[in-house]
Amino acid sequence: MNMISTHKIYSHTGKFVCTAKSNETVLKSLLNANIFPTFSCGSGRCGQCKMTINKGKIEYNLTNTVKEQIDDNEILICAALPKSDLELVLSI
C-alpha cells in the first residue's frame, strides 16, 4: 500500500509557498495555491513548465517526458511528483 505524504514547497528566497501531496504534481500543488507558473501541454512533453530546483527530490509520473531537454537542476513541474520538501526558483 502506497502512503501519501505531504511535503513543503519553498521559493529560492526561503519563503514557504505551499504544501504538496506526494501523489499530485508540483504544478497541481502550485495551481491549488493560486500560483500560476508557465505551462502548456500538462504532460511533460513540451518543456514549457521546466523550473529550476535547488533542493529536494522528485519522481516523474510519466515515462514520455522530455527529460533529455532539461538540465540536472531543472524539473518538469507538470509531471514531477514531490518526494521531499522542495526549493524552487519561483517568481512570486
CATH T-level fold of 6-88: Ubiquitin-like (UB roll) (3.10.20)
Report the C-alpha gap between 77 and 29 in whole angstroms: 10
Domain boundaries, the chain: 6-88
Judged on CB neighbours under 10 Å (0-12, 13-18, 19+), 44 is buried
2 burial level (CB within 10 Å; 0-12, 13-18, 19+): exposed
DSSP state of 79: T
CB neighbours (10 Å) of residue 26? 27
**Cβ atoms within 10 Å of 3's Cβ, excluding its own:** 6
- pLDDT of the chain, 92 residues: tens digit per residue: 568 999 999 999 999 999 999 999 999 999 999 999 999 988 888 889 999 999 999 998 766 667 677 888 999 999 999 999 999 998 76
What is the pTM assigned to this prediction? 0.90
